Amino acid sequence: MRNCVVVVCLLVFCIITLAEEQNKISSQWKCDGKPSDQHSIAVPDREGHSYSIAQGNCTAEKGSMGDTKEQEGTFTEFGEVRGGAVQNHGLFVETLASGDKVFLQYHGTQTWKEGKFESGANKWTLAGGTGKFKAVKGEGGCKGKSNLDGSSTWNCEGTYSVAN
């Protein structure tokens, strides 16, 4: 009887593992040069120190989740600015071509020069979604750079799984 229980448990584990197959994400996002909404509060301890909150929009240049193309995204983030360095964290709400949404929580760093974004990097974790992606899990990271038109381009890599 004990062997039967072990075999059943192993079989269930294998089925769950196969149902949550890891898929790769390789995306590129182009984000508007200025956030659609932004607020900043200076911290009076030294020059160039402030806290900010911002929301902005991005468009997928390439990428998909399975056979569903990525379309657009909205970031909402909180940042601590210290001169040309920013530490931030936020939530990116991605809308797919199917209308489903995917939620990515992220934290990262950025460098700024003369009030303009230069480069950045972040780590993200998938925090759920809607429809087909309601139970999505995953993680990865993005690297961003500024463009001549003031926008930024972010290249993102990671893995995800969706429970069937």
Q: What is the mean pLDDT of the chain?
A: 89
pTM for the model stands at 0.84
| pLDDT > 70? residue 164 | no
pLDDT band for 151, please (50, 70, 90 cuts): very high
Residue 18 vs residue 74, higher pLDDT: 74
Q: What does the pLDDT read at residue 31?
A: 97
| pLDDT > 50? residue 19 | no
| pLDDT > 90? residue 82 | yes
Amino acid at 17: T
Can you list the positions of beta strands (E) in the chain? 23-31, 37-42, 49-62, 64-65, 68-82, 85-96, 101-113, 116-129, 136-146, 152-162
CATH number of 22-162: 2.40.350.10
Domain boundaries, the chain: 22-162
Q: What does the pLDDT read at residue 163?
A: 80
Nearest alpha carbon to residue 48 among 114, 130, 106: 114
pLDDT band for 115, please (50, 70, 90 cuts): confident
| pLDDT > 70? residue 139 | yes
